[in-house]
Structure 1
Amino acid sequence: MRANSPRSSSRSRNSRKSLNAILSPLVIKFRGNYTNRALTFNGYNALMRKWITITVAALGLAAVAVWKYDSIRWQAHQLRGFLLDLRNTGGDTLPTPVQIQTSNFKSQTPVAQPPNHPATQPADANHLTTQPPNYPATQPPIIVATPSPSVTFDPPKWEKQGINNCGPATLAMYLRFYGWQGDQNDIARVVHPNEKDKNVRWDELVYYVKTHAGWLDALFRVGGTADKLKLFLANGYPVVIETGYELPDVGWVGHYLLITGYDDAEGVFIAQDVTAGANQRVPYEKIDQYWQQFNRLYIVVFPPADSDMINALLGDDADEAANRQRALETAQSEVAADPENPFAHFNLGSNLNYFDRYAEAADAFDTARELGLPKRMLFYQFGPYRSYFNMGRYNDVIDLSTFTLDYRPDLEESYFWRGWAEYMLGDSNSAIADWRNALGINPTFNDAQTALESVGAGP
């Protein structure tokens, strides 16, 4: 190997210097960029943390705003009711037949008949939202369990009702028991699109189950008993009941409760109450006291494959006419035992209506009013309208519905019946206006639509 010459070594040193001269700026530039990138990345983290903090705070404020908005809406709703109550000086009870003032209409021969009651529509397969589970083709023999001293279900997720949304909120909890996904707003959009509408009827809740809940069915009965509730609960079926209810600073209203258990030792039913809260332990006597005020009406939701079991649990009440007859006999017994109880007389009238015994029903409703019924009674139950109408007492229908609407102008059923009474007395224009008012409150109220069509008018 030849040794490096001085000239060769010199060239090598010069080459290294030249290379260093070329690379040094690149290294410095790279290090500078790296440093800048590190600084930029740290700044980005800080900026992101800032924006995350702002976003979380904004979401929190939005949640508070929504809560405040709902709270303000509730307060505005209650204030509106308070002002309407101040405007009316009729007291806390419905007017008696003597107190009702005679209307200015002149009687004429009836020219049309309204439907006897709001119809529950059959299930429509086009509305089904969920496919049913695969049930076995044949069912095992029906074995009805005897109620034990106590039964308690794991309650569904509790839901506080929105404005006038007791029915949809209660039904939403009930449907969740069967795995339904949804909330009260899903139900309200179908049966309660106007939050000012004071009442969602039992038939509207049953209609929703039959047409929108997918794989489920529902029925109602009246004349329920504590033993019947326990029997359903012991065999795995919660039950919704419709009751009277006392609200602080408001007074008597109608209400739904989802019954999910009972305890004989304590003497209580366990109720999911969309107003008071979950797992309310309500004494048997209190349940029956307020349940009586709605003819002890109850609703059962179940898979269609369980129909035979439901009929077995209903027993004689599986036949609706037999159920009504037994409820009528109960009302007659309760009138005899406590003739000063207005709700017993009201139930008597309601059950007589079912059998088209309108003269007797009207007498029963008159007695109930004389004894004193809550002023909101006809927000929820409409038997007096039906019996008075069928007895030709059109002025009574008009005056009683007008009294009710003066308290709360958002009751489609009162507009509906007043419209028919006006029509019978020859005031077609007022009748059409009232039926349109009914549809304005509840666009799904088919009876008002049918009434308009029957006289050749549109909505």
Structure 2
Amino acid sequence: MKKQILATVIGIFSLNSMSILADQATINDIEAAARALDTVSLQELSQSSDSYDSALANYRLAVSFNVKADSEAANAALDQAMETMEGLTAEEPENPEAWALLGHIYGTKIGFNPMKGMYYGPKAGKSIAKAKELAPENPRVNLVSGVSDYFTPTLFGGSKTTAIKSLSSAINQYADDSDSGYHWGLAEAYVWRGLAQMELGESNKALNDWRAAVAIQPNFYWASTLIEKHQ
């Protein structure tokens, strides 16, 4: 289980104020399998890991199954990830990484089941707000916040411009994150920023972001597919 020693600085917890005992190698294995949509490896990683790592593996497994149009398996994996992270946030309420991933999972649940937006939307919002309160300069917190802004209707405070701002902050913050033990999401941040750029009519900026994602992760299926579609 992830263990952290949290140092308080004027009541705000940030990634730089944490001493994190974590297994970055497992995170790297999860991300490599996810980029290749390798559901077999992701299932094995979800079972051989615990706590945060297991939840991340199940989250990536859910997304991979969804891409492969296996909605039943996707929802089952996502529900398992959700259960794990709800338990972890209850056990470690001052852990911003846990709140950020839980918010991401709730948001994905809405993507899988839009009719459940009224239920999971407030949960996602509260989880992300808690993560931002604890660690406003954490790259994954800003990644998840940016994705939330991308999908949230303007009427409810979302905006593609705000999404780009949060995602740009995340991309900049990843430079100091490589040894965090939770390092994932840099290429993903570029993809989401590119999607927001495309929505605003900035196709060249979008393509540049997707190419940056592929430069970071050459076998990134999602980014490569977007480039092929829009170039």
- Please state which band the TM-score falls in when normalised by the shorter chain: 0.5 to 0.7
Contact 1:334 1:344 in 2 (8 A): yes
Aligned to 1:359: 121
Question: Matched residues in 1 for 2:204 and 2:34: separation?
Answer: 33
Quote the residue 1:375 is aligned against.
138
* Cα gap change, 1:414 to 1:201, in 2 (>3 Å): farther
Counterparts of 2:228 and 2:36 in 1: how far apart (Å)? 24
Return the alpha-carbon distance in structure 2 between the equivalents of residues 352 and 396 of structure 1: 20
The offset of 1:93, in angstroms, is 4.1
- Which structure: greater helix fraction? 2
Deviates more, 1:425-434 or 1:405-414: 405-414
Q: How far does residue 417 in structure 1 lie from its aligned partner after superposition?
A: 1.0
Q: Quick one: which amino acid aligns to residue 220 of structure 1?
A: Q
SS at match of 1:205: helix
1:427 counterpart residue number: 202
Counterpart contact for 1:93–1:375, Cα < 8 Å: yes
**Equivalence for 2:165:** 399
Tell which structure's C-alpha radius of gyration is larger. 1
The match for 1:443 is 218
Are positions 1:202 and 2:25 aligned together? no
Once the two structures are superposed, the pairs formed by residues 172-191 of structure 1 within 5 Å of their partners are none
Give the conservation status (yes or no) of the 8 Å contact 2:30–2:42.
Answer: no
Letter in 1 for 2:102: L
Q: CA RMSD in A?
A: 4.1
**Corresponding position of 1:61:** none
Verify the 8 A CA contact 2:143 2:170 in the aligned structure 1. no
Q: Percent identity?
A: 27
Deviations 1:104-130 (A, max 9, x none): xxxxxxxxxxxxxxxxxxxxxxxxxxx
Q: CA deviation at 1:435?
A: 1.6
Match of 1:386 among 138, 147, 152: 147
Q: 1:205 to 1:335 in 2, by over 3 A?
A: closer
Partners of 1:210 and 1:330 in 2: CA distance: 21
* TM-score of the aligned structures, taking structure 2 as reference length: 0.56
Alignment of 1:297-316 (within 5 A): 297-298=56-57
Instruction: Provide the secondary structure at the position in 2 that maps to 1:355.
Output: helix
Residue 346 of structure 1: aligned partner: 100
| 1:385 to partner: Cα distance | 3.7
How far apart are 1:373 and its partner, in Å?
6.0
C-alpha distance in structure 1 between counterparts of 2:42 and 2:38, whole Å: 9
Given that 1:401 and 1:414 are in contact with CA atoms closer than 8 Å, whether structure 2 keeps it comes out as yes
TM-score (norm 1): 0.31
Pair 1:355–1:408, CA change in 2 (3 A) = closer
Q: Which amino acid aligns with 2:202?
A: D
What CA distance in whole angstroms lies between the structure 2 residues aligned with 1:296 and 1:370?
Answer: 22
Give me the whole-angstrom Cα distance separating, in 1, the residues matched to 2:221 and 2:57. Answer: 23
Matches of 2:193 and 2:164, distance apart in 1: 5
Q: CA deviation at 1:419?
A: 1.0
Residues 139 and 169 in structure 2, CA contact (< 8 A), matched pair in contact too: no
Distance 1:333 1:406, change over 3 A: closer
Aligned length: 176
Match of 2:42? Answer: 219
In structure 1, the residue corresponding to 2:43 is in which secondary structure?
strand
Decide whether the 8 Å contact of 1:295 with 1:347 is kept in 2.
Answer: no
